[in-house]
A and B are shown apart, each in its own frame.
Chain A
C-alpha cells in the first residue's frame, strides 16, 4: 500500500515536470478568434453544435500527440525536420505562409485585447500598447521556465468561462443530450458554422509551437507517456472551456433570439440577460485569452522561421547574435498592435485572411507530419502503428477537406 502511494506521488511529480507544452498549446487555441466563433455558434445555433466537440477532441489529440512524439524521439522542431527532410525550398514557402498567417492571427488577438479593454471602459489606445510592451518584455526578459509558469497561470484563468457557464444556470439534461446526439442540419449557415468551429481548433502554428516547446523542455523517451497525458488533458480542457462558452451564449442570447458578430457583442448582450458578474467574467476571459495568444503567436513564428532557415534562435541570445529572431518577433508584435490602432480598420477581412492562410498551410503541414512520423530513419520503432496511422490519415484527410472547403467558401461569399 505504501509503496503504491509512493509510486503514485513519484508519477505525479514526473507528470508535473513534463506537463506544459500540450496544455498551453491547446489553451492558446481558445484565443480571441476561437471565443468569437464559439460565441456566435452558441448564439445562433444553441446547443445543437455541442456534439462536434467530441470529434474535435479526438482529432486534436491525434495530431498533437504525433508532434510531441516526434519532438521526444528526434529532439528536433517541426521546422527543423521539414528543412532536413524536404529541403529548403519547401521550407521557405511554408514559412512565408506561416508568417502571414500568424501576423493576421496576431492582429486578431490584439483586436480581442482592444475589444475587451472597451468592455471594461478603458481606451484601447492605452491598453493595446501596454499589452504589446508587456508581451515583448515577457519573452525577451524571461527564460523558458519562467515564461511557461506565466502561461500555465493564464491557462487557469480560463476557468472564468466555466464559472460564467454555471451562472447562467443551463439545463444540464439538454446539454448532455445534445452532446451525444449529433444533429445535422443541411442548411448553408449551419454547415459553415460547423466548419468554422472545427477549423479554428486545429491551426498550423500549433504543431510548430508544441513540437518546439517539447524539444525545449528536453523530455526524455522514458517519460513520454506523461507527455502524451499532457496532450490529452490539454485537448479536454480546451474543449470543455469551448463548450461552456457555447452554453453561456446558447442559454442567454439564443433563447432571446439575439444575433451577434463578435465576442464583444456577446459580452455586451450578456450584461442585461445574465447579470454584471457574468459580463465581467466573459470580458476578462477574452482579455486573458487574447494577451496569452498574443504572447505565443509571435514567439512561435520567430522560432519556427529561424529554425527552418538555420538562423540563430533563442531568447537566451542577445540581439547581435540572433538579429533575425528579434526582428521577426518584434515586427509581428508591432504590426499586430499598430494595425488595431489605425482608425477605421475593418476586422472581418483580417479574420477571413487569417482563416484563409491557415487553411492554405494546414494541409501541407499535416501531410509533412504524416510523412515524417512514419519515416523509419528518423523515428525508429516509434513510427505510427497501423491502426493509429489509419485514424491519423482519416483525421488528416478530414481536416484537409474542411480547410479546403472553408478556404473556398471564404472566396465564394
Chain B
C-alpha cells in the first residue's frame, strides 16, 4: 500500500510520522498568500477503508458567530508544528453558518470524546485522543487513545505532568506504556439521526467474532439509543446471539423499537426454549401478535411450549432435535444430518421414533459414524433410552441426566410421544439459580 521509499522520505521530511488529533485541533490555517483563514476544527474521513484516511478539513472562524468552511485535503500544501498552509487563496474558500453533513464521519463530532466499542477487549470505552499516521500526504486513523496520558494531553498539561513524573520515577509505567487501541478493533457508535444507522459498516465482522455472552455484556453497557442503532446494523446471526444474552428488560425495550417482522425473524432464529422464555414474560396480547405473525408450524410449536409451567420439563425443553423414523438406514441418516440447517443448540443425540412420533430409541453421532452404513438405524441405538415426562420437575431431570451422564434427555407425553429435549445447559442454569438462592439464604442468616 505504501512504498518503502515514500516511508523513508516522509520520515526525513517531518520528524514524526504519527500525530495526535489533539495536536492538530485548533491549529492556524494559512492561505497561499500567508494570510490567516481560520483554525482547523474537524477532519472528515473516508470511512470506506479499514483505516479511514482524511478527505477534507473543516476550518472554523469567528466568535461568537462561528462560520465553517470545508476544504479538500488535496489543497493542503504542507503542515508543520505551528500551522497548516494551503495551496489556494482565501477568497476561494466559502464560509457558511453550518457544516453538519450527517452522512460524513468526522473526527471531532463522531469519534473524539465519544463512546465506542473496543471489539478486542470487549468493552465500551471513551476516546481521549486519536492517533494518526501520516501516509503519503494524507492522515490515516491508526489508533484511538484511551489512556490517562491522552486525557492529560488534551488538557494541555502533558509536558508538566511528564516532567513531574520523571522527577519522581524515571521508569514509571505512565511514561512508557501507550494505551493505544488499533482502529481495526474500534466500532464507532455515532448515530446518523436521519436513517438511525451507524456510519461504518466494515467492523460488523469483528462484532460477530466476539463470543455471544461478551457481546451481550457490551450491549448492556451501551445506552438505549446506541443499543438500538447497533442492533439494527447487525446481521441476523449476531442479532440472535445478542438477543439470547441480554436480560428481559433490555429485550423488551429493544423489540419496542423494531418492526414486528424483525422480532419474528429473531424469534425464529433462536432456539425455541429461548423464544418461549421470552414470550411467556411478555403481556398476552403481544405474545399473540408475534405468534400470529409466525409460520404456522413454528407458532404451533411455541404456543405448545408456552403451555407448560416454566420449572417443569415441558417448560424447559426445546422443540429442536434430530429424529428419524425407524427403519431409516444409517447412511441416509448421516446424509440428512449433514444437510440439515442447525440452530445454535446442537446436542449430538439422534432420536428414533415410529410413524406416530413415539419414542423408540436414541443414538449419538459417534455410534452412527461407527455403524455399518447399510444397517438400519435401530441397530446403532443405545441399549436403553431414558426419558422424562412433560411434568417432571427440574430436580428429577437433573438427577437422571447426572446419573446417566446425558448431555440431552428426551421428553415424552403420557402417550410416550416425543415432545422435545432438554439440554444440559438449560438444566445447569436452572440449578445455578437454585444454588444461588440457597447461598444467599445462608449468607443472610446471622452468625
Which residues does A use to contact B, with CB under 8 Å? 74-76, 80, 83-84, 87-89, 92, 215, 218, 220, 309-310, 377, 380
Contact = CB atoms under 8 A, between A and B. Distances in A.
Contact of A84 (B113, B128, B151): B113
B78 interface: no
Given A75-B226, A88-B155, A309-B151, 10 more contacts: A74-B223, A80-B115, A83-B126, A88-B154, A89-B154, A89-B156, A92-B151, A309-B126, A310-B126, A310-B146
A302 to B, nearest CB: 16
Contacts, number: 43
A380 B125 CA distance: 25
B114 A84 contact: yes
A377 B192 CA distance: 9
A229 to B, nearest CB: 21
Contact of A87 (B113, B125, B226, B249): B113
A75 B146 contact: no
Nearest to A378: B193
Interface in B152-199: 154-156, 193
21 contacts: A74-B223, A75-B223, A75-B224, A75-B226, A80-B115, A83-B113, A84-B114, A87-B112, A87-B113, A88-B128, A88-B151, A89-B154, A92-B151, A92-B155, A215-B223, A218-B253, A309-B126, A309-B151, A310-B125, A310-B126, A310-B151
A377 B193 contact: yes
B256 A220 contact: yes
B225 interface: yes
A75 B228 CA distance: 11
A310 B128 contact: yes
Nearest to A377: B193
B99 to A, nearest CB: 12
The list of the 5 closest CB pairs from A to B, nearest first, reads A310-B126, A75-B223, A75-B224, A88-B154, A75-B225
Contacts of A380: 193
Main secondary structure of the interface of A (DSSP, over half): helix
B285 interface: no
Contacts of B154: 87-89
A317 to B, nearest CB: 10
B100 interface: yes
Interface string B209-223: 000000000000001
Interface in B59-106: 100
Contact of B224 (A88, A89, A218): A218
Nearest to A309: B151
A227 to B, nearest CB: 14
Nearest to B157: A92
Contacts of A83: 113, 126
Contacts of A377: 100, 193
Q: Which of A80, A87, A310 has the most CB of B within 10 A?
A: A310
A80 B115 CA distance: 9
B113 A88 contact: yes
A220 B253 contact: yes
A379 to B, nearest CB: 10
A248 to B, nearest CB: 40
A218 B256 CA distance: 13
A218 B253 CA distance: 9
A74 B113 CA distance: 16
Contacts of A215: 223
Nearest to B153: A88
Nearest to B22: A88
Most A C-beta atoms less than 10 A away, residue of B125, B127, B154, B223:
B223
Contacts of A92: 151, 155
Contacts of A80: 115
A151 to B, nearest CB: 20
B230 to A, nearest CB: 13
B428 to A, nearest CB: 23
A215 B125 CA distance: 18
Nearest to A86: B113
Contacts of B125: 310
Contacts of B253: 218, 220
A74 B229 CA distance: 13
A390 B334 CA distance: 75
Interface string B120-143: 000001111000000000000000
A83 B127 CA distance: 11
Nearest to A311: B126
Contacts of B151: 88, 92, 309-310
A84 B223 CA distance: 14
A80 B126 CA distance: 10
B126 to A, nearest CB: 3
Contacts of A89: 154-156
Nearest to A310: B126
B249 A218 contact: yes
A105 B260 CA distance: 50
A92 to B, nearest CB: 6
Contacts of B193: 377, 380
A310 B146 CA distance: 8
Contacts of A220: 253, 256
Contact of A76 (B127, B128, B223, B256): B223
B225 A74 contact: yes
A3 to B, nearest CB: 15
B284 to A, nearest CB: 14
Nearest to A313: B221
Nearest to B100: A377
B336 to A, nearest CB: 46
A334 to B, nearest CB: 23
A58 B226 CA distance: 34
Contacts of B156: 89
Contacts of B155: 88-89, 92
A84 B113 CA distance: 5
Nearest to A316: B220
A136 to B, nearest CB: 19
A88 B127 CA distance: 10
A87 B256 CA distance: 33
Nearest to B102: A377
Contacts of A75: 223-226
Nearest to B108: A87
Nearest to A82: B113
A222 to B, nearest CB: 8
A74 B223 CA distance: 8
A48 B225 CA distance: 48
A310 B115 CA distance: 8
B66 to A, nearest CB: 13
Interface string B248-276: 01000100100000000000000000000
Nearest to A71: B223
A216 to B, nearest CB: 10
A74 B191 CA distance: 11
Contacts of B113: 83-84, 87-88
B221 to A, nearest CB: 9
A84 B151 CA distance: 14
| Most-contacted residue by chain A among B100, B127, B155 (CB, 10 A) | B155
A371 to B, nearest CB: 12
A218 B248 CA distance: 13
A75 B125 CA distance: 16
A215 B115 CA distance: 16
A218 B225 CA distance: 11
Contacts of B128: 88, 310
